[in-house]
Amino acid sequence: MISQPQIDRLIEVALDHRRRSFLVRSRHRIGAAVLTSDDQIYGGCIIQSIISGLGVCAERAAIDHAVVNGHCLFKAIAVVDRRPIFPCGVCLQYLLQFYQINHQDIDVICSDLHGNYQITSLLKLLPHGYQTRYNLSNLRSNDRR
């Protein structure tokens, strides 16, 4: 379980990244932040495209930001929108592949703009997600900074 200061910081980073949303098709700003196993936080925002399907959700942008910086083990992810929303199915499935590295459930924090939030977990939101038969535990060493 993550601490209250970690939750507050995740929401703060997600809110900051929400302001950076790249919107070309709507005004729907979303920000996200992930907490790595070594307590680093990386943010992301929604990046829309004029071509449907080419954009990136804030959650996947935050995850990719962490991976680019050498992290693939996550404790939690926060999503900030006008009202608390859950990550979409694509983002949950994407996060599930990182869960498969060490099989530690990942907290999912859904917050509104005022810091009102609820917490659940990846496995509660996606209990029957696709899991590979390949052993991903060798990717733990991806914290290769």
What are 74-121's pLDDT values in tens digits?
A: 999 999 999 999 999 999 999 999 999 999 999 999 999 999 999 999
State the CATH number of the domain containing residue 71: 3.40.140.10
pLDDT of residue 136: 81
What are 51-69's pLDDT values in tens digits?
A: 988 999 999 999 999 999 9
- Beta partners for residue 117, in sequence order: 111
Total structural domains in the chain? 1
Domain that holds residue 120: 4-142
> What does the angle CA 61 – CA 63 – CA 65 come to, to the nearest 5 degrees?
65
Q: Report pTM.
A: 0.93
Question: How high is the mean pLDDT of the chain?
Answer: 94
Separation of alpha carbons 104 and 46, rounded Å? 26
> What does the angle CA 72 – CA 91 – CA 140 come to, to the nearest 5 degrees?
15
As a whole number of Å, the CA-based R_g of the chain is 14
pLDDT of residue 143: 54
